[in-house]
Structure 1
């Protein structure tokens, strides 16, 4: 059993010597900054898995190229989602830490908006637009239905469109 493992390891070392440049090429081609070596490691794992499944087939190099490329793209997407999630989370946390009241940004503007809206519509603006809460959460907090909250939102848009027009065109 250990002889088989040693032979397999020795064969993989030869494959690695032969295909390592493919990993570097794909990292370069995909314009990846691999400071921590995480993408290289992902490429090595993909090479190993491809070696275990497809080594000896005439299409091994094509399959390996596709496998490594796919894994690297998957990792890029995963990193992008993590960064996007962290950025949004940090933004929301930062907003909550110093934003007790939105009126201090432009008191005249917020007074004008507040006067144009009913109490429920103002709640919609505060909770949905400023705080970024989900419609379902607002409905739960206010003891009403999701459709009612959506209705508040439609009325807010209808009422604020003429008020906000000078801000958009300027």
Structure 2
């Protein structure tokens, strides 16, 4: 199998010593495409020896420094929390000491209007619940739960 590097767009260091992410235009057996490749200097397989030779032939090519990723905000972390099925969500409430009837009561105390009707439909018919859905915040306030408590209950419910 013939591998050719037509162009290297960037080489960036990673957290691991002697490991890099390489963005390149390559050709493999006559087929050309752009690829992002994880490259380790010690890897003797695949595209790695070709990249190693290219780097040796281009000693002045600027290798980007590794940048520690910025810490995620709590909201960004919550966006990544898995959705719960309706079953998991309700069992999670019960495991946390809350009855589903308390959710219905919380929704019933909302002011009449579209938001209340939407919340009723979401509660009754949603197949899944996302941690960041507005209904979760509404119910949490009514139940006196803070974000940390909801997160803990949610992560427990994922395994139910």
Higher helix fraction (1 or 2): 1
Larger Rg: 1
TM-score normalised to structure 1 length? 0.28
- Larger RCO (CA within 8 A; separation ≥ 6): 2
Higher strand share goes to which structure? 2
